[in-house]
Amino acid sequence: MPDQTAQTKHWSGSGQLRGGASGIKFFLTVLRVLGLRFTYALLVPPAVYFSFVSPDVPATMDYHRRIFGPVPWWNRRWLVFRHFFAFGQAIIDRIAVLAGNTKHFSFTFDGEEHLRAAVAEGRGVLLLTAHIGNWEAAGQLLSRINVPINVTGFDNEDPAIRALLNQSAKANFRLLPLTGAPTDAIPLVAALRRGEIVAMMGDRAYDSPAANVPFFDGEAAFPVGAHVMAAIAGAPLVTVFSMREPGGHYHFFGFPPQPPERPPHHLRDAHLRACAATFARRLEGIVKRDPLQWYNFFPFWNAPGKRSVGTSPPSSIQHVPSALARPSSAPTGPT
C-alpha cells in the first residue's frame, strides 16, 4: 500500500493547491471579471508546465498505461497534459459552483431517489465518493435536500489560500478536517446521529484502516473507515459520483443505500473487504466513462508481489472512543 509519506510528495497527498496564494487569487479574479471560458484558456500554460516538471508525471503515466495500454511517447505526454488540464478545469468549476455561479452548467441526476430514500430514514447518511469529476457540482442536488452537509478531508491548505477560497464560496457546506487521529471519528458520528449528511472520499487510504482489493489490472488499498463510521452511527451509506460531460454538463450518479451492518467479530475482516471491493468496482466503472477525470496523481497500486494484508487494524470497529460505542438504536443528538 502506498504510505502517506510517499503520497505527500505528490499533489494528491498534500491537501494543498499549487500556484501559491497569488496564483489562486489571479484565477479567482479572472473568473469573476472575464468569465468561465476565458479562465479555461489561461489553464493551458500551467498545464503544459506541470506536465513536464511535476513529480506527479511518472505516477500519472503509469495510470494511463493501465487504462490505455502502450502508446507512443508523444501520446503519453499529450495524455498527461489533457489530464492536468482537466484537473485545472475541475478546480475552476469547483470555485464557480461554490460561488453560486452555475449559469454555465447543467445537471442530470441518476439515482437521486436512493439518496432521498436514505435521508428519509432519519438516521443520517454517509456519502462515499472519490476524487473524480467534481464533487462540488453534486451540491446542486444536496442543496435541494434540506439537511446539513458535512464534508471531510485532509486540509493542509495554506491559510492565505484557504481564506481566498472561503471568501469566494457561498455554499453551505461545513468542513470537518481530518488529522488521522482516532478522535476524528467523534464529530463524524455525532453529525450522523443528528440526522445530517457526512461526505467522505473512498479512494485514498493514507495510513487509515484499508483493504487491498482488485482494481483495474492490479490490487490497491481502499479505506474502510467510512463503512466503520456508518456501522457505528447506524446510518445508511450511499455511494455517489459526479462526472463532467461535454458542454459544461454534470452527471450525478447515486447507488442504492447500503444498510449499516455490524457482523460478528470473526466476520468483520471479510465484511469490510467486501465493502471496499464493492466501492472499487463501482469506481472502476465510473472511471472507464472518462479516465482523465480521476485525480489521484500518485502511485495508487500496490507494488507487484506485495502481500495482501486485508484491513489494518482488521477490527477497527472495536477500537473507537467510548463516546462512540453506544448501540445504533440509542437516541440521536449531539454527543
User: How far apart are the C-alpha atoms of 263 and 227, rounded to whole Å?
Assistant: 12
313 vs 271, residue with greater confidence: 271
- pTM of the shown model: 0.81
| pLDDT above 50 for 18 | no
User: How far apart are the C-alpha atoms of 199 and 97, rounded to whole Å?
Assistant: 17
Helix (H, G, I), strand (E, B) or coil at 60: helix
User: What per-residue confidence (pLDDT) applies to 145?
Assistant: 81
User: How far apart are the C-alpha atoms of 273 and 245, rounded to whole Å?
Assistant: 32
User: How far apart are the C-alpha atoms of 117 and 140, rounded to whole Å?
Assistant: 18
Number of H helices, E strands in the chain: 13, 9
| pLDDT above 50 for 1 | no
Q: Are 328 and 234 in contact (CB under 8 A)?
A: yes
| pLDDT above 50 for 7 | no
| pLDDT above 70 for 24 | no
- 196 Rama class: left (phi>0) / alpha (psi -120 to 50) / beta: beta
Lowest mean pLDDT across 191-195, 207-211, 310-314: 310-314
Lowest mean pLDDT across 36-40, 126-130, 160-164, 171-175: 160-164
pLDDT tens per residue across span 62-81: 999 999 999 998 999 999 99
| pLDDT above 50 for 46 | yes
